[in-house]
Amino acid sequence: MQRLNTKKEAFEEVTILDKPALFTTKRIDRNSVPRGYHLYEVRHDDDCRGDAIQIAMNVTENHFGSLITRDVIRLTPFGELDIKSKDLNYGTGDCRSMKAFMEKYPSIARPPKSHER
């Protein structure tokens, strides 16, 4: 199964759980996601109606697409989160590339841990 590079892929800007994200129906190579951004995969319903029903770290069956976010999405200890169709909204912005998304939504840099007391 071929996974694509974020630098070469065209995306659609969406919101997932009110967080900005990039979406594609393709699988993305996790190693191509820039530091400070997060890759999730979306699972569709068993009836193939095109309803997104779950976000997970890795979807092997019923793969609907891939999401890249700046913000962490808290998953269950099993690495998934059930969603409703209203949680994923399309056409919410004009970013079509990883580069444009990074410019619009810069990574939230966390300061390194200090060893000083």
At 5-20, the pLDDT tens digits run 998 889 999 999 999 9
Element (H, E) at 88: strand 88-90
Count structural domains, the chain. 1
Domain contains 99: yes
Residue 83: CB partners within 8 Å, gap ≥ 6?
16, 17, 52, 53, 54, 55
3-state secondary structure of 68: strand
For residue range 93-116, list pLDDT tens digits in order. Answer: 999 999 999 999 999 866 555 555
Residue 116: CB partners within 8 Å, gap ≥ 6?
none
Domain contains 109: no
For residue range 53-91, list pLDDT tens digits in order. Answer: 999 999 989 999 999 999 999 999 999 999 998 999 998
Residue 63 pairs in a beta bridge with: 43
Domain contains 4: no
Domain contains 60: yes
Mean pLDDT over residues 39-47, rounded? 91
Domain contains 2: no
Segments forming the whole domain that contains residue 79: 12-104
